[in-house]
Structure 1
Protein backbone atom coordinates (compact mmCIF):
# COMPACT_ATOMS: atom_id res chain seq x y z
CA UNK A 1 0.00 0.00 0.00
CA UNK A 2 2.93 2.33 0.67
CA UNK A 3 4.13 2.32 -2.96
CA UNK A 4 0.63 3.17 -4.16
CA UNK A 5 0.60 6.31 -2.00
CA UNK A 6 4.10 7.24 -3.16
CA UNK A 7 3.14 6.74 -6.80
CA UNK A 8 0.03 8.88 -6.33
CA UNK A 9 2.12 11.57 -4.63
CA UNK A 10 4.65 11.50 -7.49
CA UNK A 11 1.95 11.71 -10.14
CA UNK A 12 -0.03 14.55 -8.56
CA UNK A 13 3.04 16.59 -7.62
CA UNK A 14 4.59 16.18 -11.08
CA UNK A 15 1.25 17.05 -12.73
CA UNK A 16 1.01 20.24 -10.66
CA UNK A 17 4.50 21.37 -11.71
CA UNK A 18 4.15 20.06 -15.27
CA UNK A 19 0.94 21.96 -15.90
CA UNK A 20 3.03 25.05 -16.68
CA UNK A 21 3.97 23.43 -20.00
CA UNK A 22 0.47 24.17 -21.29
CA UNK A 23 0.61 27.72 -19.92
CA UNK A 24 -0.41 29.20 -23.26
CA UNK A 25 -3.85 28.28 -22.02
CA UNK A 26 -4.88 30.37 -19.04
CA UNK A 27 -6.75 27.31 -17.79
CA UNK A 28 -3.46 25.55 -17.03
CA UNK A 29 -3.44 27.07 -13.55
CA UNK A 30 -6.64 25.12 -12.91
CA UNK A 31 -4.69 21.86 -12.72
CA UNK A 32 -2.71 22.73 -9.57
CA UNK A 33 -5.76 24.50 -8.10
CA UNK A 34 -7.82 21.32 -8.57
CA UNK A 35 -5.01 19.21 -7.11
CA UNK A 36 -4.83 21.56 -4.12
CA UNK A 37 -8.52 21.11 -3.34
CA UNK A 38 -8.79 17.38 -4.14
CA UNK A 39 -5.67 16.02 -2.46
CA UNK A 40 -5.40 15.33 1.24
CA UNK A 41 -1.63 14.78 1.15
CA UNK A 42 0.39 17.63 2.70
CA UNK A 43 3.34 17.27 0.31
CA UNK A 44 1.06 17.31 -2.73
CA UNK A 45 -0.73 20.40 -1.38
CA UNK A 46 2.60 22.21 -0.90
CA UNK A 47 3.67 21.30 -4.45
CA UNK A 48 0.34 22.53 -5.81
CA UNK A 49 0.68 25.86 -3.96
CA UNK A 50 4.21 26.28 -5.28
CA UNK A 51 3.04 25.51 -8.84
CA UNK A 52 0.26 28.12 -8.53
CA UNK A 53 2.79 30.70 -7.36
CA UNK A 54 5.10 29.80 -10.24
CA UNK A 55 2.28 30.24 -12.76
CA UNK A 56 1.60 33.71 -11.41
CA UNK A 57 5.30 34.61 -11.53
CA UNK A 58 5.72 33.39 -15.11
CA UNK A 59 2.72 35.43 -16.25
CA UNK A 60 3.85 38.58 -14.42
CA UNK A 61 7.42 38.33 -15.73
CA UNK A 62 6.13 37.60 -19.23
CA UNK A 63 3.88 40.67 -19.13
CA UNK A 64 6.77 42.84 -17.95
CA UNK A 65 9.04 41.53 -20.70
CA UNK A 66 6.30 42.05 -23.30
CA UNK A 67 5.76 45.65 -22.14
CA UNK A 68 9.50 46.38 -22.14
CA UNK A 69 9.84 44.79 -25.56
CA UNK A 70 7.00 46.94 -26.89
CA UNK A 71 8.52 50.10 -25.43
CA UNK A 72 11.98 49.38 -26.88
CA UNK A 73 10.66 48.24 -30.27
CA UNK A 74 11.63 44.64 -29.61
CA UNK A 75 15.20 45.25 -28.50
CA UNK A 76 14.75 44.01 -24.94
CA UNK A 77 12.59 41.16 -26.19
CA UNK A 78 15.60 39.67 -27.95
CA UNK A 79 17.63 39.86 -24.75
CA UNK A 80 15.08 39.03 -22.06
CA UNK A 81 12.97 36.58 -24.07
CA UNK A 82 15.49 33.71 -24.04
CA UNK A 83 16.20 34.31 -20.35
CA UNK A 84 12.48 34.15 -19.58
CA UNK A 85 12.16 31.00 -21.70
CA UNK A 86 14.97 29.27 -19.78
CA UNK A 87 13.47 30.40 -16.48
CA UNK A 88 10.03 29.16 -17.45
CA UNK A 89 10.97 25.77 -18.90
CA UNK A 90 14.13 25.06 -16.93
CA UNK A 91 12.65 25.55 -13.50
CA UNK A 92 9.51 23.65 -14.49
CA UNK A 93 11.55 20.64 -15.60
CA UNK A 94 13.58 20.85 -12.41
CA UNK A 95 10.36 20.80 -10.36
CA UNK A 96 8.95 17.79 -12.19
CA UNK A 97 12.18 15.80 -11.87
CA UNK A 98 12.48 16.71 -8.20
CA UNK A 99 8.95 15.44 -7.51
CA UNK A 100 9.59 12.19 -9.36
CA UNK A 101 12.93 11.53 -7.66
CA UNK A 102 12.16 12.84 -4.16
CA UNK A 103 8.40 12.50 -3.59
CA UNK A 104 8.54 13.03 0.18
CA UNK A 105 9.85 16.59 -0.02
CA UNK A 106 7.96 19.51 -1.60
CA UNK A 107 9.81 21.45 -4.29
CA UNK A 108 10.49 25.16 -3.79
CA UNK A 109 11.23 27.35 -6.80
CA UNK A 110 14.02 29.87 -6.34
CA UNK A 111 13.58 33.53 -7.29
CA UNK A 112 9.79 33.74 -7.06
CA UNK A 113 7.39 35.68 -4.89
CA UNK A 114 4.74 33.63 -3.15
CA UNK A 115 1.16 34.79 -2.93
CA UNK A 116 -0.50 31.47 -2.05
Structure 2
Protein backbone atom coordinates (compact mmCIF):
# COMPACT_ATOMS: atom_id res chain seq x y z
CA UNK A 1 0.00 0.00 0.00
CA UNK A 2 1.47 3.39 -0.93
CA UNK A 3 0.76 6.80 0.50
CA UNK A 4 1.67 9.63 -1.87
CA UNK A 5 0.41 12.52 0.25
CA UNK A 6 3.28 12.51 2.75
CA UNK A 7 6.74 14.07 2.39
CA UNK A 8 9.14 11.39 1.15
CA UNK A 9 12.25 12.93 2.71
CA UNK A 10 10.59 13.27 6.10
CA UNK A 11 9.34 9.70 5.82
CA UNK A 12 12.86 8.44 5.02
CA UNK A 13 14.41 10.37 7.89
CA UNK A 14 11.90 9.32 10.56
CA UNK A 15 11.81 5.69 9.43
CA UNK A 16 15.62 5.45 9.34
CA UNK A 17 15.78 7.14 12.75
CA UNK A 18 13.44 4.52 14.23
CA UNK A 19 15.43 1.60 12.86
CA UNK A 20 18.80 3.21 13.62
CA UNK A 21 17.92 3.90 17.24
CA UNK A 22 18.94 0.32 18.07
CA UNK A 23 22.58 1.39 17.72
CA UNK A 24 22.32 3.40 20.94
CA UNK A 25 20.78 0.45 22.76
CA UNK A 26 23.07 0.83 25.76
CA UNK A 27 20.91 3.80 26.71
CA UNK A 28 17.24 3.58 27.58
CA UNK A 29 16.55 6.33 25.05
CA UNK A 30 16.98 3.86 22.18
CA UNK A 31 13.42 2.61 22.63
CA UNK A 32 12.20 6.13 23.37
CA UNK A 33 12.99 7.32 19.85
CA UNK A 34 10.55 4.98 18.05
CA UNK A 35 7.94 5.61 20.76
CA UNK A 36 8.27 9.38 20.28
CA UNK A 37 8.10 9.04 16.50
CA UNK A 38 5.06 6.78 16.83
CA UNK A 39 3.29 9.37 18.98
CA UNK A 40 4.11 12.51 16.99
CA UNK A 41 3.97 11.30 13.38
CA UNK A 42 0.76 11.09 11.41
CA UNK A 43 2.35 9.23 8.48
CA UNK A 44 1.08 5.61 8.42
CA UNK A 45 4.31 4.22 6.92
CA UNK A 46 6.42 5.94 9.58
CA UNK A 47 4.08 4.58 12.27
CA UNK A 48 4.46 1.06 10.84
CA UNK A 49 8.25 1.41 10.84
CA UNK A 50 8.24 2.74 14.41
CA UNK A 51 6.07 -0.17 15.55
CA UNK A 52 8.31 -2.67 13.79
CA UNK A 53 11.38 -1.08 15.38
CA UNK A 54 9.76 -1.34 18.82
CA UNK A 55 8.99 -5.00 18.20
CA UNK A 56 12.62 -5.57 17.19
CA UNK A 57 13.84 -3.85 20.39
CA UNK A 58 11.56 -5.98 22.55
CA UNK A 59 12.61 -9.17 20.76
CA UNK A 60 16.32 -8.39 21.18
CA UNK A 61 15.85 -7.75 24.89
CA UNK A 62 13.82 -10.93 25.31
CA UNK A 63 16.33 -13.06 23.38
CA UNK A 64 19.20 -11.42 25.27
CA UNK A 65 17.60 -12.36 28.56
CA UNK A 66 16.96 -15.95 27.47
CA UNK A 67 20.42 -16.40 25.94
CA UNK A 68 22.02 -14.74 28.96
CA UNK A 69 20.34 -17.28 31.24
CA UNK A 70 21.48 -20.09 28.94
CA UNK A 71 25.03 -18.73 29.19
CA UNK A 72 25.02 -19.74 32.84
CA UNK A 73 24.84 -23.37 31.74
CA UNK A 74 27.47 -22.68 29.03
CA UNK A 75 25.32 -23.18 25.93
CA UNK A 76 24.30 -19.56 25.39
CA UNK A 77 27.60 -18.09 24.18
CA UNK A 78 27.09 -18.94 20.48
CA UNK A 79 23.51 -17.67 20.70
CA UNK A 80 24.68 -14.38 22.20
CA UNK A 81 27.13 -14.05 19.31
CA UNK A 82 24.37 -14.56 16.76
CA UNK A 83 22.22 -12.04 18.62
CA UNK A 84 25.04 -9.49 18.50
CA UNK A 85 25.37 -9.99 14.75
CA UNK A 86 21.61 -9.63 14.25
CA UNK A 87 21.67 -6.50 16.41
CA UNK A 88 24.00 -4.84 13.90
CA UNK A 89 23.07 -6.37 10.54
CA UNK A 90 19.27 -6.28 10.67
CA UNK A 91 18.90 -2.54 11.44
CA UNK A 92 21.37 -1.71 8.67
CA UNK A 93 19.28 -3.73 6.23
CA UNK A 94 16.12 -2.00 7.53
CA UNK A 95 17.64 1.46 7.10
CA UNK A 96 18.77 0.68 3.55
CA UNK A 97 15.33 -0.70 2.65
CA UNK A 98 13.39 2.31 3.98
CA UNK A 99 15.78 4.73 2.28
CA UNK A 100 15.45 2.93 -1.06
CA UNK A 101 11.69 2.45 -0.83
CA UNK A 102 10.19 5.02 1.55
CA UNK A 103 6.60 4.13 0.63
CA UNK A 104 6.83 0.67 2.19
CA UNK A 105 7.58 -0.21 5.79
CA UNK A 106 10.27 -2.75 6.60
CA UNK A 107 9.33 -5.98 8.41
CA UNK A 108 12.02 -7.79 10.35
CA UNK A 109 12.07 -11.52 9.70
CA UNK A 110 11.81 -14.07 12.51
CA UNK A 111 10.52 -11.80 15.26
CA UNK A 112 7.39 -11.87 17.37
CA UNK A 113 5.17 -8.89 16.71
CA UNK A 114 3.91 -7.92 20.14
CA UNK A 115 2.72 -4.43 19.20
Fold similarity call, TM over 0.5: yes
Runs of at least 4 residues off by over 6 Å = none
1:38 paired with 2:40, answer: yes
The separation in 1 between residues aligned to 2:76 and 2:55, in whole angstroms, is 25
Across the aligned residues of Structure 1 and Structure 2, the Cα RMSD in angstroms comes to 1.4
Unpaired runs of 5+ residues, structure 1, are: none
TM-score by length of 2: 0.91
CA distance in structure 1 between the partners assigned to 2:28 and 2:14 by the alignment:
20
Q: In structure 2, what is the equivalent of residue 21 of structure 1?
A: 23
State the partner residue of 2:84. 85
Q: Deviations over 1:58-85 (max 9, x none)?
A: 000111111110232xx531x1122111
> In the aligned structure 1, how far is the partner of 2:19 from the partner of 2:34?
8
Greater percentage in helix: 1
How high is the TM-score relative to the length of structure 1?
Answer: 0.90
Aligned to 1:76: 76
